[in-house]
Amino acid sequence: MKQYILIALAILTALAIGCAKTETSTPEPETVEVTTATVEVRDVPDTVEAVGTVAAKREAVLSAQVMGVIKEILVAEGERVAKAQALVMIDSAEILARKREAESARAEGEAAMSEAESAKAEANAALANVKVNAGRFRNLYAEQAVTKKELDDVETQAKMAEAKLGQVDAKIRQVKARIAQADAAIAQADVMLGHTVIRAPFGGVVSGKTASAGEMAAPGRPIMKLNDDRELQLVTGVKEGDVSGIGRGTPVEVAIDALDGALDGGGRLKARVDEIVPAADPMTRSFTVKLGLPGTKGLMPGMFGRAYLPAGTRKAVLLPDAAFVDREGMQGAFVVREDGTLAFQAVRLGGGSGGMREVLSGLSGGEKVVVGDLSRLRQGMKAAR
């Protein structure tokens, strides 16, 4: 029996020695000097999202003002054009023919006017002679040197000369009317000839063509579309419950999906409300809102955009940018636990500004996190006290 007791004591002693060795072989966690910050909960501006499409503030659908065959289209889609640059040529042969006809009529009128003016000069001279002769005959009749019939014949000649002059004056008026009509036709032809060249009403980019050379152009039929891409806006629909929070001039942030990551700092565009159409769409119950966009490289009409409209404030958990770390594709921060050990906490982040990022999940506020050089930190390290 005593022998069994000794064996048991030996086993227990061995186990105790083994445990002691195991305990002393566990290394202490590495201690590091760190700087910490507290995860904050603050009131931040709240926003509502409204989607829209980028459009030019100035757009023009160009069509002909005269009917005719499209002779030539001088520009291609996507080409930049200057103000007053010729874009489309329309066949002007018929208009030129009408102008030449009017010019011929004017030349005939000028020739007729020259003849009429000569005839008037002759009629005036004849009338003057007849009047002198009639005066002489009146004197002779008073002296009873001529008969009454002879006096009447001379006065009849004077009346006929006056009538002749009136006819010449009437002809001159008719010729003047013909010349004026020809001048009007020439002026109209000149205007129409001007319309056979369609010019850019402003500098911009040709964004589309709906006709080709050889087709018939007609007033009101679109030929091409031009937009001024130097001044762009986001046209969006805002729900009737959200439109009361904005007004003309309200600053709004805009994100353009196609430019994601291409903007300076990867941020959003700073836009302003330019116009609110004062009538809601009866189908969607939304108001059309136009946001003026700043000049931005790569921004083009037709792009999809998101506007973030102000809508009061809300509570948000905010993490300093300096505490954010990406470990093998996982976003997170190193949290300092109560015992001083460091733990990597995965988080989901939202937008940010002013050196802070919103935490959508993973932190609740009040936690202490490490900021600064995070590349040297590992799970389980201990913050120096």
Residue 289 reports pLDDT greater than 50: yes
189: left (phi over 0), alpha (psi -120 to 50) or beta: alpha
Count of domains forming the chain: 4
Residues 170 and 183: their CA atoms lie apart, in Å, by 20
Nearest residue to 256 via CA among 308, 327, 204: 308
Which two structure tokens, joined as six digits, stand for 226? 């031009």
Distance between CA atoms of residues 35 and 323, nearest Å:
10
Residue 188 inside a domain? The answer is yes
The whole domain housing 212 covers: 65-90+197-227
Are residues 153 and 280 both part of a single domain? no
78 touches 165 (CB < 8 A): no
Q: Provide the token pair at 139.
A: 């004197």
pLDDT value, residue 1: 43
Average pLDDT, the chain: 86
Task: State the CB neighbour count (10 A cutoff) for residue 207.
Answer: 19
CATH code where residue 219 lies: 2.40.50.100
Find the mean pLDDT for residues 334-351.
87
Which of the four pLDDT bands, split at 50, 70 and 90, describes residue 37? confident
Can you give the C-alpha Rg of the chain in angstroms?
49
Spatial distance between the Cα atoms of 228 and 80, rounded to a whole number of angstroms: 9
- Domain end, chosen from 263, 291, 312, is at 312
Considering the domain architecture, whether residues 223 and 344 belong to the same structural domain is answered as: no
Quick check: 256 and 281 in contact, CB under 8 A?
no
Structure tokens at 198: 């369609």
Same domain (yes/no): 182, 260: no
DSSP assignment of 126-195 equals HHHHHHHHHHHHHHHHHTT-S-HHHHHHHHHHHHHHHHHHHHHHHHHHHHHHHHHHHHHHHHHHHHHHHH
* Pair 86, 209 in one domain: yes
Within-domain flag for 25: no
Residue 15 binned pLDDT confidence (cut-offs 50, 70, 90): very low
Cβ neighbours for 301, distance < 8 A, ≥ 6 positions apart: 54, 55, 56, 207, 227, 229, 232
In a shared domain, residues 288 and 158: no
Among 289, 291, 276, 299, smallest CA distance to 230 is for 299
Angle at 192 between CA 190 and CA 194, to 5 degrees: 70
For residues 81 and 125, membership in a common domain is answered with no
Burial class (CB in 10 A: 0-12, 13-18, 19+), 44: middle
Is residue 220 one of the residues assigned to a domain?
Answer: yes
What is the Cα–Cα distance from 373 to 378, expressed in whole angstroms? 12
Of 255, 289, 312, the domain-final residue: 312
Q: What are the C-alpha distances in Å from 156 to residues 132, 135, 159, 166, 198?
A: 13, 13, 5, 15, 65
314: left (phi over 0), alpha (psi -120 to 50) or beta: beta
> Where does a domain end: 211, 227, 243?
227
Burial of 57 (0-12, 13-18, 19+ CB in 10 A): middle
Q: What is the mean pLDDT of residues 19-41?
A: 70
Predicted confidence at residue 26, as pLDDT, reads 54
Q: What is the pLDDT of residues 138-187, one digit of tens each?
A: 888 888 888 888 888 888 988 898 898 889 899 999 999 999 999 999 99
Q: pLDDT digit string (tens) for 111-130?
A: 999 998 898 898 888 888 88
What is the arithmetic mean of pLDDT over 272-277?
A: 94
pLDDT at residue number 130: 86
Q: Is the pLDDT of residue 3 over 60?
A: no
Q: Say what the pLDDT of residue 266 is.
A: 54
As a whole number, mean pLDDT of residues 78-94 equals 94
Q: What share of the chain is helix, strand, coil (3-state, %, to 5)?
A: 35, 35, 30
The neighbour count for residue 105, using CB atoms within 10 Å, is 17
Please give the pLDDT value at position 2. Answer: 44
